[in-house]
Structure 1
Amino acid sequence: MTVGNPRCWWCGAAASSGEHKFKRSDLVRAFGDGAWRGPTAVAHLADRVLAPQSSRAKGLKFEKSLCHSCNTARSQAFDRAYDALADYIRDSGDYVLSTGILDWNDVFGDAWQDGMELLTRYWVKHIGCRLAQVGAAISPGMIEFLDGSSNLRHVQMGLEIREDVVAVMGHLADTHGESKHSLWLGPAMGHVDRSSGVVVQMTSHTGINWLRLWYDYDFVDPTGSVSFGDRKVELPRGWSIDPTSVVADCRVCRPEGYDDE
């Protein structure tokens, strides 16, 4: 958590900007600009609290941990690369879901490797803001990668298709007429160094619809890798909950008598 006079974790200048937890272009693309009101309004679920939001809501941003320059001009190319992926998932997601193949050439064209590397930097920037939010020590290796180093260190990440999300999105759309779009930010789980009281390891995930990016960060271990470095990526299919049980436990279908614990 940021206290005192926060500094930009990337360049060290005064922190005046908070990165979106969910990219605002994703929110607008999926749900419109807002405000979202009424019984069918888009909601942000955090700590089991559903709060009506708009795409500009403060609660959808991390605490201020970047300077304006780093969060805009300096990382603009990263944002554009992510937008290209999000547009592709919106337009061609059914194909990716059916084949289990994500072809970066379909997303970025012949310059697919450059696009994929910029996209990776977008996710590293997101992870850095998440680390700053929980008071973690951010490795110089991450910053060097954002500054152009080709060597990703201290972060391992991968992409997967979440079948439980596919099931719940399909059920809500087909049975309840809800949007087929969803955005995800997983809980942060980590390890605190006892001598310093600083978070030095963290694992979490973020996702758009059924496509999930998982990541592990380790301040001590310099190992870094991605599972999606080749042009054609075969996406593993996973779930934390049996997809059929997700649908069976739908709270809209069973508004009463549902045990939240």
Structure 2
Amino acid sequence: MARLYGKGQYNGEVLWFDGERLKNVQGPGSPELRFPANLCQTCNNATSQPFDLAYDDWSDYILNDLDGIYRRQTLDMQQALGDDWAARVDDLTRYFVKHIGCRMARDQVRVPDDLVDFLSGTGEPASLRCGYGIRKDLHKLHKKGRRHGDTFGGPWMRPLQCWYSPSIGEITELESGYALGFIEFWYWIRVDSARDKEEVFSDRPQSREVNLDKYGVSGPFA
């Protein structure tokens, strides 16, 4: 948020909407913009610093070339992350996995063990399927905003949609997305207990060029 809107007070220029309530955001440290403290200080600082730096570079790339990305309908991870993009692309995914885990913990949904292992670098995110796309609804908002001097950069969080299994007594699948501008990182998680022991659900972008599908508010899951 500080990169988008500055580090000072927002004075009513930034709003938070959760689908029901509209609230003024006072500044980048406002509680509306933060998840509850569910990571230890070491994990949230030293351990995750490479993830945060990868996201900072990616977000700069997105916000500085939104219209070009829309025309090309691809993300260039080398442009976003530098010449060592191949070593950093998983750090970018880990940033989003940290976001997902904090969101799940806030909503009292059990975080799959493999996602925790992926953050620590000791395993694959077998329960995660994710990718990038263009939200057509947010692109329309972006075009309208430009006529009024605003790009409506977001960030935007799609509602967290969950499937509950009465037989095992827990949520088994969930899907959502996080968008900057109109470029969305979408994700679909099938938790450990909903998969066969040897099943690997994982699918994540790891190539230099990532093709972007266009989809509406219902997301790529429809």
What corresponds to 1:183 in structure 2? 155
Counterparts of 2:107 and 2:173, CA distance in 1 = 11
In structure 1, C-alpha distance between the alignment counterparts of 2:156 and 2:163, rounded to whole Å: 22
User: C-alpha offsets along residues 61-100 of structure 1, whole Å, 9 cap, x if unaligned?
Assistant: 1122111111111110000001110011122222211111
Q: Structure 2: how far apart are the matches of 1:87 and 1:173? A: 18
Residues 179 and 107 of structure 1, relative CA distance in 2, 3 Å threshold: closer
Q: Which amino acid aligns with 1:33?
A: K
Amino acid paired to 2:171: V
Matched, 1:29 2:3: yes
Show CA shifts across 1:147-196 (max 9, x none). 1146221011110011221111221220x333442210111111234256
Q: Determine the C-alpha separation between the residues in 2 that align with 1:82 and 1:223.
A: 24
> CA 1:148–1:47 in structure 2 vs 1: closer, same or farther (change >3 Å)?
same
Q: In the aligned structure 2, how far is the partner of 1:28 from the partner of 1:114?
A: 26
Is 1:159 the equivalent of 2:132? Answer: yes
What is the CA–CA distance in structure 1 between the aligned matches of 2:155 and 2:75, rounded to whole Å?
Answer: 19
The answer (yes or no) to whether the contact 1:182–1:209 under 8 Å persists in 2 is yes
- Uncovered stretches (5+) of structure 2, i.e. residues with no partner: none
The counterpart of 1:229, out of the listed 188, 206, 214, is: 206
Instruction: Tell me, in whole angstroms, the C-alpha distance in 1 between the residues paired with 2:206 and 2:99.
Output: 19
CA 1:134–1:198: 2 relative to 1, 3 Å: farther
8 Å contact kept, 1:78–1:121: yes
Question: Aligned with 2:133: secondary structure?
Answer: strand
Please give the root-mean-square deviation of Cα atoms over the aligned residues, in Å: 1.8
Aligned counterpart for 2:101 among listed residues 119, 128, 133: 128
Residue 69 of structure 1 corresponds to which residue in structure 2? 42
Contact 1:188–1:203, Cα closer than 8 Å, also in 2: yes
Shift of 1:239: 1.7
TM-score normalised to structure 2 length: 0.88
**Alignment of structure 1 residues 75-224 onto 2, 5 Å:** 75-149=48-122, 151-174=124-147, 176-194=148-166, 197-219=169-191, 220-221=194-195, 222-224=200-202
Residues 93/169 of structure 1: CA separation in 2 closer, same or farther (3 Å cut): closer
C-alpha separation between the residues in 2 aligned to 1:195 and 1:62?
30
CA distance in 2, matches of 1:161, 1:45: 21
The 1-side partners of 2:164 and 2:214 are apart by: 31
Question: Take 1:190 and 1:239, find their aligned partners in 2: how far apart are those partners?
Answer: 19
Highest Rg: 1 or 2?
1
Relative to the length of structure 1, the TM-score reads: 0.75
**Cα pair 2:141 2:152 within 8 Å, conserved:** no
Alignment of 1:53-64 (within 5 A): 53=25, 54-64=27-37
Cα 1:172/1:95, change in 2 over 3 Å: closer
Name the % identity.
28
Secondary structure at 2:130 match in 1: strand
Count of residue correspondences:
211
Moved more, 188-197 or 61-70: 188-197
* AA at the equivalent of 1:223: F
Residue 34 of structure 1 deviates from its aligned partner by: 3.7
- Contact 2:94-2:118 within 8 A present in 1 as well: yes
1:197/1:65 CA distance change after superposition, 3 Å: farther
Paired with 1:218 and 1:102, the residues of 2 have a C-alpha distance of 26
